[in-house]
Every structure is written in structure tokens, then in C-alpha cells.
Structure 1
Amino acid sequence: MPRLTAPRSRCRGDVAVAGPPRAAAAADRTSLTSLYHRISLPPRRRLETTGGVSVTRPTAACHAAPPQVIRQILSATQHTERTSPMSPLTLRLGAVAATATLGCTALAATGTAAAPLGAAATQAGPGQPNIVFVLADDLGWADVSTGLTNKGSGNTYNETRTVDRLAEEGVAFDNAYGGPNCVPTRAALLTGLYAPRPTNNLYLVGDLDRGGDGTLLDGAPQGLPDGDDALPGEAYTVGEALRDAGYATGYVGKFHVTKTAEQITTDFGFEENLGGSNSGHASQYHAINGKFNNSIGPALDRFAADYTQEYVDQNIKPYSHGVGDATLDALVGTDKHVTDAVADATVDFIDRHKDEPFFTWVSDYAVHAPIGDKQPRADLLAKYQAKPALPGHPADASYSALLEGLDQGLARIVDHLETTPDPRNPGHPLADNTIVVFTSDNGGTADADNGWLSGYKGEVREGGLRVPAIVWSKNAHLVDGAVVDSTPVHAVDYLPTFASLAGAQLPKGLRPDGVDLSGIWRNESTQLGARPLFWHLPGYLIEGARDQRPETVIRSGPWKLSYRYETQDWDLYNLDSDIAETTDLAAAYPDVTQRLGSRLIRWLNDVDAPLATLREGKDPITVTFQGTAYSDGKITHYDEPTQLTFQPGDEVPALLPTAVTE
């Protein structure tokens, strides 16, 4: 089949309210594989221990069982495999993972541990669960030290004890996806809709012509009519869904996909905005004279005061590992780090709304660039500058320090949930009726650790799309944890899931592209069938190591099929056996290519996806084609070989020939 000539280097309506109205309105990459007896086929697997071994919560200054202790305990137990009528083969971490505490609990200034309230929850709680959604920024798939979210490829140089603990005790997803960078993912998370939907229309940060003037095609227009990469005010969001279901809704940290900070509360359903703005990153991570700069919403300045001795003793020392008191005390009088301010604001929001169901979206600025010695907290930077590198892992002291700071903030939030009495559930802590979700917006940059994956943030290869994802609760009726789940899940799934948990009714006619995952979290339903996932990027991002050109992708089961518009190529990969996307199987499996290609073209039509156009000044392109085509919002079938000509300004179509191997 003739090909387009271009080089390829590679790669909102009334709402029915459920619930009360609101009153106001690689060296180490294989170690975890053997440790957890990882298998590749079942979508849900549990590790069940039979040795009765447990680890109590530590109370000494270390506050965490060292990884080697956990490894020794796990190796001393026997893992059993089982099947059930509800699910395929599963593996459970069981008593060890449920009781081995990898995180830490808060210490009062006296140095004694604050004891968690109540026993492990075995009842459903008082009704609508609280939801804390924690979103990292640009976190690589394998940046965290646990291997449970990345098929054993965790970076053991980095220290993410809290993430590790939540993965051990909760449901860790190792096939979780975002978008290629923050704008499409944040829009999908907020709306539950794919990028081409009219109220999204967001595919990349900035615009879709980030490839220079010499590209064959012009990227499609995106965002608002004025070109801003922001959601329109009429977009219906998860904030609105939960607010109208009776939740206190708060947003903390980076927002990005808005024209103004005011829209976060006026249009997008969050009753409080602590730090969100239209900025895509924190241009500086520390406050100056008790204020953050204008890349961070001014409401966060309430938490920007310099470090005090009381603050360091209560909020840093209990969560610090491997750093002496003298180094920590040296923080007193220095500028507050934004990650600590985000944790402060989150804890404050929880305290003020603990007598009602609350939803707080915690959007950290780390580990987004800029990253250098000025960005991390001084104690953490010094720690990693003195830490020897490990074979097979990137060693970047500034990056690792920023990441551990994020993890310490997460520890503070979880610890506060575990030690704060729940007014709605007397005798229990908030954690017994709270779900914590931890994930990231997109894959890592070239400076991050994406494990075995190819590609980076900004690309639709696995390295640009895969993210760590963990769901945790102390209540097994909310999250049946100690599980690694391999179900492919996507950013669009969180709105329908949170709406289901809240008992929210969505506006009539609104059909999210995502699905409700709460049954999977409870282990009531472990299969979503052969649900395909989609990504569409009708433009360019050619910059540094990244070479992203117009492309549409479908993932279904183990298969990932992509269509590249410049060259009319269909690439097929089996991610079960080739997660690095090294071997194109399109010619070897033409039936799979045809089936998934047909589904991809139907999806483009369903969402009325815009396509890139032939750039002005380029010669017309003529091809002879027989098969199915999509462009200009419609599908056309060509039953006989037909000559097609594309002029400058025309959309260049997706073409699925009758026989893709010809």
C-alpha cells in the first residue's frame, strides 16, 4: 500500500442529588518478581501466607520495618495459590502484608508514637466514605521503591516507604494508565471522558504543533477557542458530582486545566481551592518570606510560614529516615517547601470537615521540573547526595529527594487519618471509612525511571502512559487489599468510581468513558471483560529524546495497536510478552490487527475525533486505497481500490486496508 511520505524516527444541566444537599451550596529489577512469586496471566493475584507471621507497628524513631526485614519475613512464609468462582487465579499477601507496616505513624514532640484508633475495620462504616485522591506529577512508572505497581521493576535507590506500605496493604495496579502528559490526564481524571470529547479536547500541554514548521502535518486545534489548554467552564467534573452528593470538596495543589484559579470553585465543583491555578508547574518549590510565587495559587500561602522547631519536631522528624536530628533542626527558620505546605493544607481540610463526608484532591507539584539542588528540602538533598548509587538504577540526588519529600507528605496524611477519631463513626479513626488513592498523571520524563518501558512523558508508548496506582483503606469492605491487580485501568475510571462510592447521580445524558472500579477494589467483581482503552494524539511533540507524531492507540487484553498517520503504519505489540514494545506483530497477526483496527476507527467516529491536517505548502498526497477510512467525523468504506487525494488543510485519515499485510 502506498505510504504518506514522512520520516519516522520511532517513536456540564441539572443534577439529581443523592444524599443530603450541601449546607452552603534493573540490577534489582528481578528481586521482587521472585519475592512475590509474580505470575503474568491472571488479572488479580493474592499472596496468601500460612506461617502466621506478623510485624507490629514500630514505635522507635525509625518508624518503619526495614525492607530487608520484610523480605526476611516474606521468605519465611509459604505462598499458596487458589482459584475462586469470582476471579481467576489469585495471590494474597495476607497477614504479612496486612500487618507489616512499611510506613510510619506520627510521633508527638516527646518522641512517643501516636497510637492508631480501633482495630482493623471489619464493618462497612457510617455511609459515604471519605476519599483522598493523591496525584503525583511526572512520576515514572518504576520511580517508587515498591515493585508491586510495576511488575517488579521498582527503583530501590529511591525511598518511598509510604507508597510501599499502601501497595502492600491495598490494591496495587500494575496495568494503570494516564495520558501522555498532565493536561489530557487531568482533564480525564476530572471529567471521566477521553481527550477528543467536546468538553475536553485536550491532548498535550500547550498546543499540538510542538514539532517545528517542517512537519508533514499540522496538529489539530485543541483546548478552548482561544487556544488555552484548559477545560471549558461547562465541563462536568468529579468535584461537582461529589459536592452535589453531600461531600465537602477541596482541591489542594496543582490544577493547570483552568483559565483562572477562581473557576476551580465557581465552575468545577470544589468548595475550597488551596493552591490551584492555571500554572502547569511550580517554578520554584520553596516559599520566600512566607509566600509562594505566582505559579502556585495564593491560598496556599496560609501554609507558607518558615519552618519552626515545633513544626520540624511534629511534622518532619517522625517521617524522616536516615537523617540526624541536627540536620533536621537546621531547617528551623528556613523557607517552607511546597510539598510540606500541600500536606499541611490537606490535613487542615480533613480536620475542618471530618464530621461530614469529604473528598480532597491532593495534587502534588513534585516531581515536575525544574529539578536541581534548589528544589528539594535541604535535609533530603543532603541525604541523597551522600547515598551511594545502586547498580541498574538512575541516581539523581535532587530527584530522589523531591520524591521522598512527596512520600513523607503522603505519610503525614495517612497517619492523620489513622490517628484522628471519626465523629461519624465513634470508636474508629477516619481511616476506617476513608479510601486513599495514589497515582500519577503520566509516565516519567527521560530523567525518571520508567523501568523496562519504552518512551517518555509526552509519548503514547508505554513509558509515557503507564503510572503507578494504589487504592488503600483500613476497611476491607471498601478496599479488599493485599492484592496486585493486573486489570488495565485508566484515568477516566475515577469519576464513575468516586460517584458510585458517593451515591452520586450524574446528570441525565452524561455517560463517562470510564467504568466503576469500586467492585474490583472490594473484590466483588474482578473482571471488566475485554474493555478496550484508547489514546489519541493528533499532533506533534518532538523535543529532546521525545519523537511523538500524530497517532491513535488502542489497548485490548494483551494487545496494543497503534496507527501512525504520517506513514499509515499499524504497529501491534503483545504487552504480556513484550512490554517494552520491541517487536511489531502486525504482519504476524493480521486478524488481530484488523479486529482492533476496526474498533479503533469506530472509536474515532464515536468520539468525533479531530485529526491532523496536511500542512500548508506541502504537495497534495494521492494514495490508492481499499478498506475502511475515518476522517472529517465520519467513516467511509471503500469496497474497491479507490484513488484518494489529500490537499493541504485536509485531514489526513486513518486508513485500515482490507488486508493490512498487502
Structure 2
Amino acid sequence: MRRTPFGDMTRNRQPFEVILVISTRTSAAVGSFVLPATLVVAGLGAPRPAHSAAADPVVSNTPRPNIVFVLGDDVGWSDLSGRRTNLGNRSDFNETRNINRMAKQGVAFTNAYACVNCAPSRAALMTGLYAPRPTNNIYLVGHLNRGGDDTRLVGPPQGLPDGDAALPAQAVTVAETLRSGGYATGYAGKFHVTRSGSDVTALHGFDENIGGTGAAAPKRYHAANGTFAGGIGPELDAFASDYTQAYVDRNIKPYTHGVPDTSVDALVGTDKHVTDAVTDATIDFIDRHDDRPFLTFMSEYAVHSPINNDQARRDLLAKYRAKPPGATPSKPSYAALLEGLDQSVARVVDHLETTPDPRNPGHPLADNTVVVFTSDNGGRTTLGAFNGPLKGQKGELDEGGVRVPFIAWSGNRALVDRGRINQSPINGTDVYPTLAALGRTSLPAGIPFDGTSLKPALAHNATVKRPRYQHLPGYLIGGGRDQRPQSTIRAGRWKLLYSYETRTWRLYDVSRDIGERRNLASRRPGVVTRLGTKLLRWLANMNAPLATLRDDEVPMTFTVTGDTYADGQVTRHRGDELVIEPGAEVPMVLETTTG
């Protein structure tokens, strides 16, 4: 049951145009992909014969599905060349044709949120909990005082008691839950929220860990003498051998477009790129465990720094160095790393579509597998990422720092519907309950999960209605970023943000003002009060720690008529004068009349 390889249709094609055709009765088949009735895609070259119904199936009564979770690193909301995850705000330089095709064939979310940078996002994905929960307690990479000694406030401790930003042993991860339900669990690539690579398997529920460590980034993207180094665990060295002609012919050429064969052939005998190695490891894990349901994380390092010509795969770098700049950010090394990630996604999906499923005879693995693609935070614009019209970048609570692409795909429409765009606000805490629901595995008792299952949104495009929260009681200043202690709530069209240093509120209608340019707090005090009250209560429910006044600062004195949150509780004030001494938590203040 071999299908046309996922990458074949994109090879050596030019950029194409999407044409919307309104229809209620017909579908358009293009190449080897059946598209929903509302979409016809032009410019892909001569169309091939349409698929049979079996190629776009609704497969019922299947065994528990496999799950492949693909996590890109620092991929910006608008970095993709497709339009479906970013409301049309796409890159015109980068090329991500295979991820785009996933978005067209699956469900694309336009309002998906992560945390401000790598570690807190990965902790939320693993635990299903917001940062203030004691079995998470990770808000930022490193520590909460990445602003020097001159800031007015001081962030609280985070992570483990010694300050290590790693998950505690008592945290129950999504891998532990699915493994208890009979899943084989594998991890390949960057892990980051652990003390050591051995803890990934000893403490966090994965049967295998191939390369994951506590490191934030690789020191280099290529192997040297068949060995990866600089933050990459030694388990990945099994996939670090130099490129061979057979490898290039099988794993790179079918997924290449716009690159001559001579350029690809020149890879033979050169050092393996870590993006390809992580993909090799993922496919190897799938092949060794396809006789039972499997959960595998393919956690790529791209497009995290270092981002320079030495880190990109040379065939892709040459392609982008020869390409004219676009109107959007046009950094060849960045685009090459991103397209390498895109090719990896194509390889995995192709493998799922062309490998028979021993648990589901007569079908390929794709017909009982869900693939999710997302990023751990917004793009780092100072390094070449594109966040489109969004304000801010990785490390900031502005939309550009926390809004990310999020796509779900399956060969089985019973698992993931086709051609849907879902505008519900979702976030990383939803991943755990979603994967547990897909795996028909009960959530462990006694854990106050902060997310909700997206399974109805995947299968039926259901709307998800749930406020989304962010809390960062510290600083990340530098590298073009100016993130200070803040908390936010996203509810429907509204985003409300509180700044602790200035005791001010900002309110944005992000459905109309995606760039967060117009602060509506003074015009919509009722919305500020309603959402601000929810945010106060959420902080209290979390028992969230706040930043404290620096020891060498003079006391803060102000009068409050309204509510405050500090020290784990909400307090009502009627014209009270508050004095915040050095070392005390600086509260959230919600005046009865805001503005």
C-alpha cells in the first residue's frame, strides 16, 4: 500500500498560489492529496489521477493510535511559507512546503500559545501544568533575574531547590501516563528540562532517550568524526555517520526542491547534520515499536542559535544564498535550517504513509497515527525569525514571543479532520490531556491539569473556550528584548496584560489589533475589571509567587480601592494605603475604577 512520497510533489517546483473556490458538492484532487471542497490548489504542475477513497480514509474501530509529536525550536509564527497557521502573514523567503501541506490536510490553529522561551514551554508540554504549579515551577531559561542588578524588582527562585530549571522527580509526565497505558515512549533530540539525559528515562517516562540532555542548544549542528557534541547526548551518535550516496538518494533527494542533484550529491562523505540524525532516530524508533502503540517526540534543535553559515546543511545554504531576498526577513542560514526541519517532517509523514501497520492490517501507519507540529516559543527576530505583524519576539509576553504555529495531521479523518482552520486560543498545557485522550488513557488522579483535550477540535473542528494565562515574575532584558514582571490572560478576542513595576494594565482586542498597538484599557474598564478579576483569582488558585522589591529600593507607598494579589491571596481594599517594604512581594493591583 505504497503512496506517493510526501516530498515528491514539492521537488523542484516553484512557489504556488492558493485559490479559494466556494463549493458545497465537489472536491478537488491535486497530485496525491485530496483537498476539501472549499480549496483548489493551482500551480503544482500537471495534476495526477485522483486518489481512491481509501487514500483519504475515515478508518473506524482502529487500535489506539500512534502519536508523533514534532517540536521545532524557536520557529516564529510567520516563519512558515504557508498561510494557514498565521492568518496569511507568511514568509516569502523561507520554504516549508511539507509543513504547509500538513496544515492543508489537517487542522491548523491560528491562536496557539507557548511560553516565552524553551524551558517553561517544554515543562508545560510534559506536565500539562502552568508554571506556578509546584511540579512545574519553571518560568524562564536559567533564572528569573536576567536583567542585571539595576532592576527595581527581584524575581523569585524557580526550578529545583538548587535553582536548576529541571522538572522535579515527582512530576508526572505525559510519557508516564501513556506508558502506563501500554505505549512505547521514545524521545529524540532536545529535552532541556532535566538534570541529565539519564533522568529522561529514569524519571520522566520515556523508554528511550536518544540525545536529550539538560542543554538548551547544540554548540554545533554537524557531527565531527561521527560524533555529536556540545549539549547533544551520546545516544544520537549511532546516527552520526557521514552522509553516504545511499543515504542521500533515499532520505534527501526525494524531499529536495530547487537544489540540483549535484549539490545534494556533494553531501556524500561530509558530516551528518543533527536535524537529519534526530529524524533518523525517530524513524528507527517507529520501526522498532510499530507492533504496539507508540508515542515519539521528535524534538529538533532547528532553528535555535547558533545560526550561521557553518550550521546550515550546505546544499540548502547554497540554495538560499542564491535566492533573491524577499520582503520578509531573508537570512540564508536561518532559511536553510528551517527547510531542513521541513524535510524532516516530510520524511516522517512519508514513512508513516508507506509503512504497513501490523496492528491495523490493510492500512499504513498513517491511518492510525496523529502527527502534531508546533514550536516551543515565538521566533527570535534578532536572529532571523519572522513573527509577521506580531509585536515582540522570543523571551517576551507580547504575541510575537508566545504565539506559535500548531498543526495536527493524520491519514485518518476520524482522528484529524481535513483542511480545517481553528481559531480557538489553545496552549501547551492542552497537549498532555489531548495525547492522553487520543491514547484512550486516563489522566492520573490528583493532578490539577490546566489544559483541556483538543481531541474534539482535531476530529470535528470544535471550538475551544477556555481562558489562557501567562505569568512571568522576573526579567529577561537584552538581545533586543525588554521583558519585565508581567501576567496576562487571553480570553476570546481580548488579551489583558498587567505590569508589576508600573501597576498598569494594557488591554488589546487581538482579533482586530494583532500587533497590540492600541491599548483599550481606559476605554473598556469593564473588560479590564472582568478579566483582571479572573487573573487575580487564577494567581491565587496557583499560589503564584511574585517578584519582590529589591533590598536597596525605597518602600513603595500607594492607596488602593479595589483588589490586590500577593502572598497567595486576594485582598479587598477600600482606600487603604499600602506600603511595600524591600523584600516584600509587589502585588497585582486592580482598582475598582481602571483607567
- TM-score higher than 0.5: yes
Structure 2 counterpart of 1:470, from 383, 387, 407: 407
Aligned to 2:586: 652
Instruction: Give structure 2 stretches of 5+ with no counterpart.
Output: 26-33, 46-50
Pairing 1:354-433 to 2, within 5 Å after superposition: 354-390=290-326, 392-433=327-368
Structure 2 counterpart of 1:173, from 89, 93, 109: 109
Aligned to 1:163: 99
In 2, the alpha carbon distance for the partners of 1:96 and 1:301 equals: 46
Contact 1:275 1:299 in 2 (8 A): yes
In 1, the alpha carbon distance for the partners of 2:62 and 2:7 equals: 34
In 1, the alpha carbon distance for the partners of 2:530 and 2:521 equals: 11
Partner of 2:562, secondary structure, is strand
**Post-superposition shift, 1:624?**
1.1
Matched, 1:636 2:571: yes
Q: For residues 353-405 of structure 1, what are the alpha-carbon distances to aligned partners after superposition, in whole Å with 9 as ceiling and x for unaligned?
A: 11110000110000000100100101000010000112x21110000000000
- The alpha-carbon distance between structure 1 residues 315 and 59, as it changes in their structure 2 partners (threshold 3 A), is closer
Amino acid of the residue matched to residue 405 of structure 2? Answer: P
Q: For residues 189-214 of structure 1, what are the alpha-carbon distances to aligned partners after superposition, in whole Å with 9 as ceiling and x for unaligned?
A: 00000011111111110111011111
Matched, 1:558 2:493: yes
**Post-superposition shift, 1:625?**
1.1
Aligned to 1:455: 392
Contact 2:201 2:209 in 1 (8 A): yes
Partner of 1:384, secondary structure, is helix
Amino acid of the residue matched to residue 641 of structure 1? Answer: G
Amino acid of the residue matched to residue 516 of structure 1? Answer: S
- Which runs of structure 1 show a deviation greater than 4 angstroms over 4 or more consecutive aligned residues? 56-70, 95-103, 115-118
Matched, 1:297 2:233: yes
- The alpha-carbon distance between structure 1 residues 98 and 65, as it changes in their structure 2 partners (threshold 3 A), is farther
**Post-superposition shift, 1:95?**
4.5
Structure 1 counterpart of 2:523, from 588, 604, 618: 588
Contact 2:422 2:463 in 1 (8 A): no
Aligned to 1:153: 89
In 1, the alpha carbon distance for the partners of 2:495 and 2:8 equals: 47
Structure 2 counterpart of 1:618, from 553, 556, 562: 553
Matched, 1:500 2:437: yes
Partner of 2:311, secondary structure, is coil
Partner of 2:55, secondary structure, is coil
Greater mean deviation of Cα atoms: 621-630 or 60-69? 60-69
Contact 2:23 2:37 in 1 (8 A): no
Matched, 1:439 2:374: yes
**Post-superposition shift, 1:490?**
0.4
In 2, the alpha carbon distance for the partners of 1:127 and 1:333 equals: 42
**Post-superposition shift, 1:609?**
0.3
Pairing 1:20-31 to 2, within 5 Å after superposition: none
Amino acid of the residue matched to residue 332 of structure 1? Answer: V
In 1, the alpha carbon distance for the partners of 2:375 and 2:7 equals: 31
Pairing 1:217-366 to 2, within 5 Å after superposition: 217-366=153-302
Aligned to 1:483: 420
Q: For residues 1-22 of structure 1, what are the alpha-carbon distances to aligned partners after superposition, in whole Å with 9 as ceiling and x for unaligned?
A: xxxxxxxxxxxxxxxxxxxxxx
In 1, the alpha carbon distance for the partners of 2:475 and 2:291 equals: 48
**Post-superposition shift, 1:528?**
2.8
Aligned to 1:512: 449
Contact 2:377 2:394 in 1 (8 A): yes
Amino acid of the residue matched to residue 631 of structure 1? Answer: A
Aligned to 2:71: 135
Matched length: 578
Amino acid of the residue matched to residue 238 of structure 1? Answer: V
Aligned to 1:108: none
- The alpha-carbon distance between structure 1 residues 170 and 616, as it changes in their structure 2 partners (threshold 3 A), is same
Matched, 1:627 2:558: no
Partner of 2:490, secondary structure, is strand
Aligned to 1:47: none
In 2, the alpha carbon distance for the partners of 1:515 and 1:101 equals: 39
- The alpha-carbon distance between structure 1 residues 101 and 505, as it changes in their structure 2 partners (threshold 3 A), is farther
Q: For residues 93-119 of structure 1, what are the alpha-carbon distances to aligned partners after superposition, in whole Å with 9 as ceiling and x for unaligned?
A: 61575999989xxxxxxxxxxx99953
Contact 1:443 1:467 in 2 (8 A): yes
Partner of 1:287, secondary structure, is coil
**Post-superposition shift, 1:556?**
0.5
Amino acid of the residue matched to residue 351 of structure 2? Answer: H
- The alpha-carbon distance between structure 1 residues 367 and 60, as it changes in their structure 2 partners (threshold 3 A), is closer
**Post-superposition shift, 1:124?**
2.0
Amino acid of the residue matched to residue 307 of structure 2? Answer: I
In 2, the alpha carbon distance for the partners of 1:279 and 1:488 equals: 30
Aligned to 1:601: 536
* TM-score normalised by L of structure 1: 0.85
In 1, the alpha carbon distance for the partners of 2:423 and 2:581 equals: 45
**Post-superposition shift, 1:63?**
4.3
In 2, the alpha carbon distance for the partners of 1:288 and 1:574 equals: 50
Aligned to 1:78: 22
In 1, the alpha carbon distance for the partners of 2:302 and 2:347 equals: 16
In 2, the alpha carbon distance for the partners of 1:236 and 1:625 equals: 41
**Post-superposition shift, 1:291?**
0.4
In 2, the alpha carbon distance for the partners of 1:355 and 1:384 equals: 41
In 2, the alpha carbon distance for the partners of 1:126 and 1:346 equals: 23
Amino acid of the residue matched to residue 94 of structure 1? Answer: P
Q: For residues 35-77 of structure 1, what are the alpha-carbon distances to aligned partners after superposition, in whole Å with 9 as ceiling and x for unaligned?
A: xxxxxxxxxxxxxxxxxxxxx9689976459465553xx35x3
Aligned to 1:121: 57
Contact 1:117 1:421 in 2 (8 A): no
* TM-score normalised by L of structure 2: 0.94
Aligned to 1:8: none
In 2, the alpha carbon distance for the partners of 1:388 and 1:515 equals: 44
- The alpha-carbon distance between structure 1 residues 275 and 58, as it changes in their structure 2 partners (threshold 3 A), is closer
Q: For residues 155-178 of structure 1, what are the alpha-carbon distances to aligned partners after superposition, in whole Å with 9 as ceiling and x for unaligned?
A: 021110110100000000001110
In 1, the alpha carbon distance for the partners of 2:271 and 2:85 equals: 34
Matched, 1:207 2:149: no
In 2, the alpha carbon distance for the partners of 1:255 and 1:426 equals: 34
Contact 2:63 2:360 in 1 (8 A): no
**Post-superposition shift, 1:123?**
1.7
In 1, the alpha carbon distance for the partners of 2:138 and 2:215 equals: 16
In 2, the alpha carbon distance for the partners of 1:60 and 1:223 equals: 41
**Post-superposition shift, 1:509?**
1.1
Instruction: Give structure 1 stretches of 5+ with no counterpart.
Output: 1-55, 82-91, 104-114
